[in-house]
Structures are given as C-alpha cells and as structure tokens.
Structure 1
Amino acid sequence: MTSPAPAAVLWDMDGTLVDTEPYWMAAETPLVERFGGTWTHEQALGMVGLALEDSARLLQNAGVPWSADDIIAYLTDEVLRQLATTGVPFRPGARELLADLKASGVRTALVTMSMRRMALSVVELIDFPAFDLVVAGDDVERPKPHPDPYLQAADALGVDIRDTVAIEDSPNGLRSALASGAVSLGVPLMVPLDGVGAHALWPSLQGRTTTDLRELHAAHTATRLENR
C-alpha cells in the first residue's frame, strides 16, 4: 500500500522556515550607507523573494560599487554571522511541522535561492535530520520565479511535482511553486500574498501537522480532477 500524498513537502527557507529576512535587511543597509547611499525599508521589502543576483543589481543601483558575486558573498557572510550568534530563528510552528513530517515518513526538501553554503549552515544548525535534499540558488540556472528549483527538487527526490506541497512566504516564491505544478501554500511574513494564486494561505504554521498538508493536497487534487 502506498502512503497518502503528499509524497514530499518542499520548503522555502528565508521567511518560511526561518525568520532571517531581518538579518538580510540588517546586512543591506550598512553596505549601501558605506558608499554614501540610502536604503529604505520599502527598498528592503522589495528584495524579499528575489534571486540573489537580482538583489545584487538593486544594491549596485543604490551605489554599491562591487561585483554581484562580491555583494552576494558579503551578504551571505553577514547573515551567517548573525545566525551563528543567535541560532536558528524558526518561524512559529515550522520546526514542529518539519519534525512531524519526518516522523510520518514524508520526504522533505529545502528549496532556497540563498547560496548553498548558507542553506547547509542553516540545516546543520537544526537539531535533527530535517531535510532529504537541498536545492540552493547556485544549484539552478534559472531562479525563482521560474519553476526550475521546484522541478529540480521533485526530480531529485524521484516524485511527481503534482504529488508535492510547496511552502512559501514571498510572491516570487509562490509564482515558482505554482508554475512548477506543486500544490502551493503561502504563509506570509514581510509582504502580503493575496492575489498571487496560492492554493491556500495560512497565517502561520503554528499547530499545523502532516494531516493538514495531506488534507490541503487532497482538496486541491479533487478540485483539479473536477475541472478537467
């Protein structure tokens, strides 16, 4: 007998699994100011969910005279430094849901546009083997909002993307998940997700379990079959 879907749950990292968006913002502002520029909260919000190369271009436009690779390396180092100091700032309910998925035998992947060394550092700070796979920004040719990161994760896990649930906190991330064919769950943090097209929006993962994700997947699958 096969296990009930989802066959895998695919997690975004920054803002979804861990509340690291303030860390990125704390790294961006002094970098821009170092070169005489200004960096507003609204500009920082505009970076949420962007590929790091796109974020680097925005910082260059704000006056940072470094290459994109140097900007990405600097930001990654700064966020890692903050993580090493404070530990993993899980979003409410995220760690508990991850642990429940593992106990239920559901495969998991981390699908993030952060650099691989950053993603692995976060995974290593989790106190149990949380993920079967990591797909990071430097593992894919086309970043979110393209579907490639999620399709690559499903292929590596050996599952049909339609048999997965993807969890995201940003519009770009949701667009990527939706384009891939995954059942797409939005859990907003810094920016609203209304109107992006998520199959469901939950205000938090607090109190959510594998059963909730199975019910979400089953409901969307039933709707899809009815609309054929």
Structure 2
Amino acid sequence: MPLCGVVFDFDGVIADTEALHLRAYQDTLSHWNLSLSRSEYFAHYLGYDDVGVINAVAHAQGRVLAESELNQLLAIKSRHFETLIRGEDVLFPDCTECIRRLSTQTKLAIASGALHHEISQILNANELQKYFEIIVAADHVDHPKPAPDGYLQAVAQLGRRATTPPAGCYVAIEDSRWGLEAARAAGLKTIGITNTYPASSLSIADAIVKNLDTVDQDFLNRLCS
C-alpha cells in the first residue's frame, strides 16, 4: 500500500518530556497527600493523559476525587509542567531533521496524550508547528490513549487532505506499549522508538528503532509494503 502519512506521538518521541511530566505530577499530587514514584509511573501510568493518571493514582491510594478536586489538580499540574519546560530545549536531537525530511515526502500529524497548548508551546518555540497538518491532543478526543480515538481522528483528517487514497498506509511512531496498542487498534503500522523503554517492551511494534535518524522514506515504504 502507498504511504499516506506519518503520525508521531509527542512526549517521548519528539520531546524528551516524560520525566518532566512525572515531576509535574509528583509536585501536584503532593498537595493532596498523594504520591507517585518513578517506578510506578513508568510501569503503570505513562501511557495515560492527565485525567487518567491523576484519577488512577488517587484510586490506587483509596481516594475518589470530586470533579472540583480533579479540575484543581489538572490546573496545578499544567502550571507545573509549563514552568518546567519554559525556556528549556526539550527536543530529542534527531527529531527536527527527521520531521523536516519527512514533511517533504508525506503528510505528518501528531496524536498525543498531552494537552494541545503543551504541544504547541514546544513546537512553536522550535519552529516545528508548520510541518504538521494535524495535531490531535488529549483535549480533542473523548477517549485519549490508550484508546485508539486520537489515531483514528488523525488518520481521518489526513485522509481528507491527502492526494493518495485514505485506504493507504499510515505509520505511527511511539515510545510506549500503550501508544503502540492505540495505533495498532486504529489500523496503523507501528514503529517503536527506544527513547523511554527498551526494545523488549515494544515488541508489538512492526519495527523498532533507536532513534529517528533511521526513519526515512525508504524505511517507511518497506514497512508499508
């Protein structure tokens, strides 16, 4: 099938921000006497959006958050994260060249469990927003990752803009098993990148890479063939 587009995850693929999200969660949850260790986060929660993480951590520690409490925690976490990334170079060193290269050859999108303003803040600071046709963030879908909704929406929107038939091949690039499961459920070919987890944790991917340097048109065409 012809390659129709590439859909990037954001945190852990484009931006080296997984650990920064953890710090923001830890600072936020401490206000409600809740805790989240690094090992717990990477083992159980990394693949979820803010609502999913905070609710799951609270439930695991015997708390049921009222909607007002959840909204307060979400606002605090967002402020903490924005403070952590402000003025920082958080891009993976190989992502900019990969994005520029692929944008001349196919349509690009982002499907992420992050919030849209967080993604835009980092992309705009690095002049990368212009390369992406579509950005589908956690606040754009009813069921964020690990549900496939974000990928389904990204592919549907790319299909309306693409010159090749939407029945062609779309490829997702992900750093976690949750993201890979979401992309596979949406019918995409998948590339796992070992920025966050070892290759053994990404075994469901159609291909596994150490960095984005190896992801070019020939690589993607072979994956789609």
Q: TM-score, normalised by structure 1?
A: 0.83
1:29 aligns with 2:26: yes
Percent identity between the aligned chains?
23
Which digits, 9 at most, give the CA deviation of each residue in 1:36-58, with x for residues without a partner? Answer: 44432112213211122210113
Query: How many matched pairs?
Result: 213
What's 2:73 paired with? 71
The match for 2:196 among 183, 186, 190 is 190
Stretches of structure 1 lacking an aligned partner (at least 5 in a row) = 219-228
Q: In structure 2, do the counterparts of structure 1 residues 37 and 181 end up closer, same or farther at CA, with 3 Å as the change threshold? A: closer
CA contact (8 A) 2:193 2:209 kept: yes
CA contact (8 A) 1:16 1:187 kept: yes
What's 2:180 paired with? 174
What's 2:91 paired with? 90
Stretches of structure 2 lacking an aligned partner (at least 5 in a row) = none
Distance (Å, rounded) in 2 between the aligned partners of 1:161 and 1:27: 40
SS at match of 1:214: helix
CA contact (8 A) 2:7 2:171 kept: yes
What's 1:139 paired with? 140
Q: Larger deviation: 166-175 or 24-33?
A: 24-33
Q: Larger deviation: 108-117 or 194-203?
A: 194-203
Any residues of structure 2 matched to 1:189-228 within 5 Å, and which?
189-192=195-198, 194=200, 196-218=203-225
What's 2:171 paired with? 165
Q: TM-score, normalised by structure 2?
A: 0.84
Question: What RMSD in Å do the two structures reach over aligned CA positions?
Answer: 2.3
SS at match of 2:7: strand
Q: In structure 2, do the counterparts of structure 1 residues 174 and 200 end up closer, same or farther at CA, with 3 Å as the change threshold? A: same
SS at match of 2:40: helix
Q: In structure 2, do the counterparts of structure 1 residues 19 and 116 end up closer, same or farther at CA, with 3 Å as the change threshold? A: same
